[in-house]
Amino acid sequence: MRKMLSFLLALGLGVGLAAAGQAAEGYGKQKVVYHLNVDDPAQLKATVQNVQNHINAVGQENLDLRVVMHGNGIALLQQANNDADMQSKVINLKKQGIHFNVCANTLKGKKLNYKNDLFDVSEQDIVPSGVAEIAALQAKGYSYVKP
């Protein structure tokens, strides 16, 4: 009986340690693309919070995350142009390695100049097509998230 009890305790301890090891490993490395095409201030705020929560859960060293904006989704960076809180959030996310990509088709269609009309966008942030960029990233193994 004692041998059986010792065996069961040892087995339980081993399972517990294995589970703790899994928890310590977390989610592992991730490549993720967030698809943003809405102009709703509450949803834009929620999206940047979702991205921060994602970083907190996975760890910035384990995450390659792109936010691809097209159509109405560029409102995030339009809003940040005049909103110090949103500016701070975008800057903080960029410091943690998050990339914000903007659709060139959207800029052309809306007659916007990325240097003047959007917050902290450089030429390297512009992609020819937002939806094509999302598809290309998915083909490269990025997981798709639509917040």
- pLDDT at residue number 145: 98
Residue 105 domain-assigned?
yes
Inform me whether the pLDDT recorded for 25 exceeds 70.
no
Q: Which amino acid is at 135?
A: A
CATH number at residue 94: 3.40.1260.10
Average pLDDT over residues 59-78: 97
Residue 73's domain comprises 27-145
Query: Quick check: 61 pLDDT over 90?
Result: yes
* Residue 144 and residue 33 in contact, taking contact as beta carbons nearer than 8 Å: yes
Residue 81 Cα distances to 37, 76, 119, 141, angstroms: 18, 9, 5, 32
Is residue 58, in this structure, part of any structural domain at all?
Answer: yes
Helix, strand, coil share (%) of the chain residues, nearest 5: 65, 15, 20
Rounded Cα distance between 99 and 65, Å, is 7
Q: What is the mean pLDDT of residues 66-90?
A: 97
What confidence category does residue 19 fall into, taking pLDDT thresholds of 50, 70 and 90? very low
78 domain residue, yes or no: yes
More confident residue, 5 or 137: 137
Is pLDDT of 37 > 70?
yes
**Structural domain includes residue 31:** yes
Confidence of residue 3 (pLDDT cuts 50, 70, 90): low
pLDDT tens across 95-113, in order? Answer: 999 999 999 999 999 999 9
Residue 3 lies in a domain: no
**2 found inside a domain:** no
Strands 126-127 and 143-145: unpaired
- The one-letter code for the residue type at 87 is Q
Of 36 and 16, more confident: 36
Residue 97 domain flag: yes
Query: Rounded mean pLDDT of 71-83?
Result: 97
Token pair listed for 99: 């990339």
Q: How many domains does the chain have?
A: 1
